[in-house]
Amino acid sequence: MSIRQKYFADKAFYRRILAVMLPIMVQNAITNFVGLLDNIMVGRLGTLEMSGVAIINTLVSIYNGCIFGAVSGVGIFTVEYHGTGNEEGIRNSVRFKILFAAVLVALTELVFLTCGDFLIGLYLEGEGSPADAVQILVYGKQYLEIVMIGLVPYAFTQCFYSTLRECGRAVPPMVTGLIAMSVKVILNILLIFGNLGFPRLGVAGAAIAVVISRFAELAVIALWTKFHLRELPFMQGVFRSLKVPGALQLEMIRRAAPLMVNEALWTGGVAFMAQCYTTRELTAVAAVSISSTFYNLLSVTFIAAGIAIGILIGRQLGVRAFERAKEEARKMIVFTALIGAAVAVVFVGVAFAAPALYNVTAEVRRTARDMLLITALFLPVNSALICAYYVVRSGGKTVLTTFLDSGLMWLFQCVPAYVLSRFTEIRVIPLYFWVQFGMILKLAVNLYFVRRGDWVHSLVEEEAGG
């Protein structure tokens, strides 16, 4: 077999990926573009306001990761049930997603209510003015108290989104996301700066816009589903009861809990590393926010490819096309790595232009630029990692997935970040580089396990066999 045959596919193969990938990519691009606009608008208020909001968004991202991990973990069953035409199985998976999400909402609200000040304070220990740290805390608390309300609709919206995507309906979530994000942008313009006679609410206005857009998003996707039940037989009667067979609940928990833990550890790891950067410089909070916001926007291509790959390979596993799944996994990893390399070229240009959009200090702009350049350097590695994650996850090997994703992240990135930030005098940019370098080690381990093929099996067959 030639190198081209081994690592590259025909046009039909890439068309299949793009058919699933493009709607997801467009929706994520819309969401992240609005996130970018939010970031810039809050950044126009000043460094302290931006830092307060950035800290809360970092903490909320852990919650978002838990929701994503929970619904995606149960979604492994949804994909395979859809592949075999088991509509009752899909209904049970939707019900369990809702139950799982409700528990996560309650736990997160409790943590934020009781530990909010402490969590914000962890990011205010670096070099800088004590007065600035106090003001950042005030802005962070103000934003958190409002944005917490939006945690509820976000969770249930994700239950709808994941189910529709897993059952081949990726366009409705994309359109719904566009509507919700449009609402958010308009409200940001009106409420943050007080345009068209609205009060100038600053940080509070940004939080109110988030909450209203979350409820609008849930309302739109719920109504769309209600009016399209004939096209979605698996959603008919899904809310008549939230009862799920006990044995299936245990199996879903067994598969989904590790993925939820993985997402919690992963997003928690990102938050932990950000905290390590702030021990060097208090201004690193704003710089990390700028860097991560532009990363989120430009990485939508290979992240959407990863999600699409997980869905497509899951379908192959569901019908026991194991050899084809392994072959496609190899070609998909190469495909996403090339996408990452292309995005990296764009990222370099962004690194020099993006920081100027913010009303922050020159020091923050320089730090953000250097972080963006380092991020660009490792984008091909990062994109291949994302693909490998979805490949392993598609087979339901969730414990292995957790080890390969968040486990290796903590080992190769978080631990070095902690050691270097606490026991050396290293500055923030060299620290950021060595933390990103850990992804190379993580990728090497991931590719080893992908090649071994331990992830290749069918969950539907396993369930049928008891």
b/e sequence 346-373, b meaning 16+ C-beta within 10 Å: ebeebbeebbeebebeeebbebbbbbbb
The answer to whether the CB of 235 falls within 8 A of the CB of 170 is: no
The answer to whether the CB of 273 falls within 8 A of the CB of 86 is: no
Residue whose pair of structure tokens reads 């005098």 in the numeric block = 425
444/458 Cα distance (integer angstroms):
26
To the question of pTM greater than 0.85 for the whole model, the response is: no
Task: Convert the pLDDT of each residue in 185-228 to its tens digit.
Answer: 899 999 998 888 889 999 999 999 999 999 999 999 999 988 88
Distance of CA 61 to the CA centre of its chain: 8
10/25 Cα distance (integer angstroms):
22
For 2: left if phi > 0, alpha if psi spans -120 to 50, otherwise beta; the answer is beta
Residue 230, both tokens = 């004939």
Q: How many CB atoms lie within 10 A of CB 466?
A: 5
377/355 Cα distance (integer angstroms):
18
- Percent of the chain at pLDDT above 90? 28
- Cα–Cα distances (Å) from 125 to 134, 137, 248, 285, 372, in that order, read 11, 12, 46, 11, 24
Q: What pLDDT sits at residue 316?
A: 67
pLDDT at residue 174 tops 70: yes
pLDDT at residue 263 tops 50: yes
Q: How many CB atoms lie within 10 A of CB 383?
A: 28
Q: What pLDDT sits at residue 466?
A: 45
67/154 Cα distance (integer angstroms):
9
68/78 Cα distance (integer angstroms):
14
Output DSSP code: residue 167. T
Q: What pLDDT sits at residue 464?
A: 47
Residue 55, both tokens = 């800290």
Task: State which amino acid sits at residue 167.
Answer: C
Q: What pLDDT sits at residue 216?
A: 94
Q: Where are the chain's structural domains?
A: 3-461
Task: Convert the pLDDT of each residue in 294-345 to its tens digit.
Answer: 888 888 887 787 777 777 776 666 656 667 667 777 778 888 888 889 889 9
Task: Convert the pLDDT of each residue in 396-421 to its tens digit.
Answer: 676 787 888 889 999 999 999 999 99
Task: Convert the pLDDT of each residue in 118-137 to its tens digit.
Answer: 999 888 876 667 788 889 89
Q: Which of 377, 370, 381, 385 is nearest to 446 (CA)?
A: 385
- Percent of the chain at pLDDT above 70? 91
Q: Which of 30, 10, 72, 24 is nearest to 259 (CA)?
A: 72
373/348 Cα distance (integer angstroms):
6
For 243: left if phi > 0, alpha if psi spans -120 to 50, otherwise beta; the answer is beta
